[in-house]
A and B are shown apart, each in its own frame.
Chain A
Amino acid sequence: MRVVVDLTRCQGYAQCAFLAPEVFHMVGDEALMFDPAPDDSLRKQVLRAAAACPVQALQVDMSISPRREAPPAGTASPKTEELKRNGRIVIVGASLAGLRAAEMLRSEGFTGTLTMVGDEPHDPYDRPPLSKQVQTGWVTSADTALPRRCDVDAEWRLGTAATGLDRQRNVVQLADGAELEFDRVLISTGVRARPWPVAHEAELDGVFTLRTREDAAGLREKLMAKPRRVLVIGAGFTGSEMASVCVELGVPVTVAQSGPVPLYGALGAVIGRISAEIMRERGVDLRNDTRVTSLEGDGGRLRRAHLSDGTVLDVDVAVVALGGIRNVEWLQGSGLAVGEWGLACDTGCRAFDANALVTDDVFVAGDVARQRQPMFNYQYVTLEHWSNSVTQAEVAAHNMISAESDRWPHLAVPAFWSLQFGNNIKSVGAPPIADQIAVTQGSVADRRFIAAYGYHGRVVGAVSFNLGRRLDYYAGLIEQAAPFPLGPELTNSADDPSAVPAEFPERTFPGYDATVVVTGQDPSERRATLVHATLARRNR
């Protein structure tokens, strides 16, 4: 059977780990690791675990019981009803967001034809385990298929990339020449790993990115072959998690990154310094402000790395963790507001065209969806978070087959988690826009604390190390834009709750100019057609 845990929801109550200890393990106080493909003989234990989860974060194959009553007839127009009954929906991108959208469509009563297009040859699978359970050897990369919460009854076009979107004819074009007509299309093509920029170095045996199952399986094999040293390039979440895995496996590891501290962009330098301290305590050779100038091979195999600090390291494995590239090239020429920052959409996940007109039949979800985020000063941003993919997919799917008056907005507080060096790091809100940070509860020395982020005197984010159960409160403060800093009267209050500068890198949000914001790209590429005056005259 297949299992996935929404670790954004998980608050570490450990009920699953008590009831199905072969499938769910606690790491430290509150972090959870799980086997995504437990043996069928463990079914009863897994069902017990899923039922017991206090926040209902466990998803198991077919765990949604069939709806016993038809959804309310409501006020849907005949057109909407016809779409729901006999419509044609194409989902491009068969990963987490795509699958969740498909399930949502079916559970909301969509009975038309559904086609799932994916460039990878696999059924939808979960990516977070690839840098964790798979690398430590608990599960194999092939075991990461996502559970099916209901029968999506789709035609699957896997291993076939989409190559174009023709909005005149409402057709998705595929690499094999096929054309799929649609009434509604969902774009959830996600991101791919940013490769090492020097092609012949990237091709060396031993140089990895970590995004796909194949990446994960290859890397695991190399880690098992007792490498002399692993070089991790980049200290964002993937890089930090990989360093943690190497430590767990007893493999010497160097982390080289251009920023001043790990996790700089996501959590700022105050938290980054704590993260650096943890890495060093655990024996990681952390090189901040250091670039990898070249990777050197010998007979096609990686042997050495040259760093900007002048050192040369003997390494057999390099993990390139420099973020992702959005899979949007296939949408060039579609006339949509699309570019390297993603595909812009409204709060209801409907895509914008290049003129900022909202489309009726093109929807977006997941890592490519560029949406106005109230928490980020209403800037258009993409959020590459697991839970964001899920919630956007559900909102997009619902809105695709709902009448205008029944549509949902996607207005969730962003949230993410990371497990590194036994520490469960969780965050809510929008830390990167903060100007200040204050440790509010717990103790940094014990690695059990919460810090709140403030921007112009309002709470905009929070991060917890091993106190994730208490983050809900902060999510509430963020929703209300509560005053920052918080009052001092809290249980478990920190010794020094004073606010200090948050120390984030200078923000690189797109400009405020409306045209640029909507079309998403650089101001020199003004693609919107400014015709309102002439149009108005012509229509007179």
Chain B
Amino acid sequence: MSAPSIFDRVLDFANRADPYPLYRQLREQPVRREADGTFVVSTYREVQALLHDPRFSNDRRKLASEYAGKIPPDEASGGSFIRTDPPEHDRLRRIVTRQFGPPHRPTRIADLEPDLERIVTALIDGFADRHQVDIVADLAYPFPVAVICDLLGVPAEDEPRFREWVDPIVDSISQLTPDRVAKRDSATRDLGAYLNGLAEQRRRNPGPDMLSGLVTDDGPEGRLDDQQLISGLMLLLVAGHETTVNLIANGTLTLLRHPQWLERLRQDPESSIRVVEELLRYEPSVQFLPDRTCVADIEIAGMTVPKGAPLTLMLAAANRDPAHVRDPDVFDPDRDDNEHLGFGSATHYCFGAPLARLEAQIALTQIAQRLADLRLVEDPPPYRPSPVLRGPIHLPVTYDKVKPVEITG
């Protein structure tokens, strides 16, 4: 057995807290072929080019047969639009977007702002009788979960059941053991059955939520079929909160490591806009996109990626490519023209990006403004297993007291 490659070391849990030095090494050769045949792409220009390349594919069925067996079978989101190519992708995504945003429902996300503020306010109000909380368990997790459940139409009382279902699904992404696969498959089944029941209920008795819209509102392109509906809902549920949990947790951690920005956010809530954008570049929740492929040979950075070969795009490495961004390892929310791959790009640009941005801006602002003398308990904190959806599993912090919400107009 040969020595582990740089990419193997990225996958190694021991390097989860700081994969960035490894990413720097990866970028020295923009495209690398791993021992198992996977091509790992880590520079901004090449990742961006592939994401816009019509020969690039998210569809697992396009993988050459010699790789198909080695690649993890369908994750929860396998049948949803994240794993399809245009034109089918575009059609499915338009149908779901119809219930989510412009042009059909232009104000749905912006209108959520007062609700988001209220949920965060209530959660942080609940910290008043303590001096230590776990930002992940006590805020970063319950907040987006409450939001996505409300948006989709999942009753609040069912929320606690989600962690049991969602955690094994997330943990399985790119870290597969037979044990994890078994747990994931069982969680996927249970979550699917639950969502099926809920969809049936909304069909009979629709409300203002997205799920009701998906099962009753026929746009010009019709409805999702049952399988598309369930896999689409699972995608929204999983992606719709796991990534935001990480964004808020990574964000709190980064601010505590850069106290001048924590202070700036205390003084100027508007700076949260730039802080979150820089976080998406500096500590993106989705670190890389594994198991993509291509439908024809692609020449890139002097390498030929053959048709059907597995491709892994290192978004987080590309975001710190010095050929694309000045002083890439500096956390600098003031930087101009912050074009990053924190939400991917092109066809599969993150569906929930606007919601995630608002959630993170609101949560981080209240954390900065309301928790006096905020401190990290341990640095680095313990991490989740996944190298893809990377973030702390716990983020204990201490504070002196909880301040009331300032009315900022």
Contact = CB atoms under 8 A, between A and B. Distances in A.
A489 B296 contact: yes
Interface in B347-366: 347, 349, 353-354, 357-358, 361
Contacts of B338: 51, 56
SS class, residues of chain A in contact with chain B: mixed
24 contacts: A11-B346, A14-B102, A17-B101, A18-B106, A21-B102, A25-B106, A26-B103, A29-B90, A47-B273, A51-B276, A52-B277, A52-B354, A54-B349, A55-B339, A64-B336, A441-B54, A441-B86, A448-B90, A470-B54, A470-B346, A472-B346, A489-B55, A489-B296, A492-B54
Nearest to B84: A491
Given A51-B276, A56-B339, A473-B52, 15 more contacts: A14-B102, A15-B357, A17-B106, A18-B354, A19-B109, A19-B358, A21-B106, A47-B270, A48-B358, A51-B277, A473-B53, A491-B59, A492-B86, A492-B90, A493-B54
B377 interface: no
Contacts, number: 114
Contact of B103 (A28, A48, A442): A28
Nearest to A107: B336
Interface in A455-472: 469-470, 472
B349 A48 contact: no
B354 A15 contact: yes
A65 B271 CA distance: 12
Interface in A28-50: 28-29, 44-45, 47-48
B86 A26 contact: no
B337 interface: yes
Nearest to A55: B339
A24 to B, nearest CB: 8
B236 to A, nearest CB: 15
A19 B357 contact: yes
A470 B51 CA distance: 9
A518 B246 CA distance: 59
A74 interface: no
B56 A65 contact: no
Contacts of A538: none
A442 B346 contact: no
B287 interface: no
A157 B68 CA distance: 68
A480 to B, nearest CB: 10
A193 B345 CA distance: 39
Nearest to A56: B337
A440 B358 CA distance: 38
Nearest to B337: A56
Nearest to B85: A491
B57 A491 contact: yes
Contacts of A487: 296
B295 A25 contact: no
A225 to B, nearest CB: 29
Contacts of A470: 52, 54, 346-347
Nearest to B296: A489
Contacts of B102: 14, 17-18, 21, 25-26
Contacts of B346: 11, 469-470, 472
A489 B295 contact: yes
A331 B353 CA distance: 51
B334 interface: yes
Given A15-B353, A51-B274, A65 B334 contact: yes
B109 A476 contact: no
A387 to B, nearest CB: 15
B86 A491 contact: yes
A43 to B, nearest CB: 8
Contacts of A26: 102-103, 106
B122 interface: no
Contacts of B49: 473, 476
A25 B345 contact: no
A364 to B, nearest CB: 26
A443 interface: yes
A13 interface: yes
B87 interface: yes
Given A19-B358, A65-B336, A54 B345 contact: yes
Interface string B31-49: 0000000000000000001
B27 to A, nearest CB: 20
Interface string A484-503: 00010111110000000000
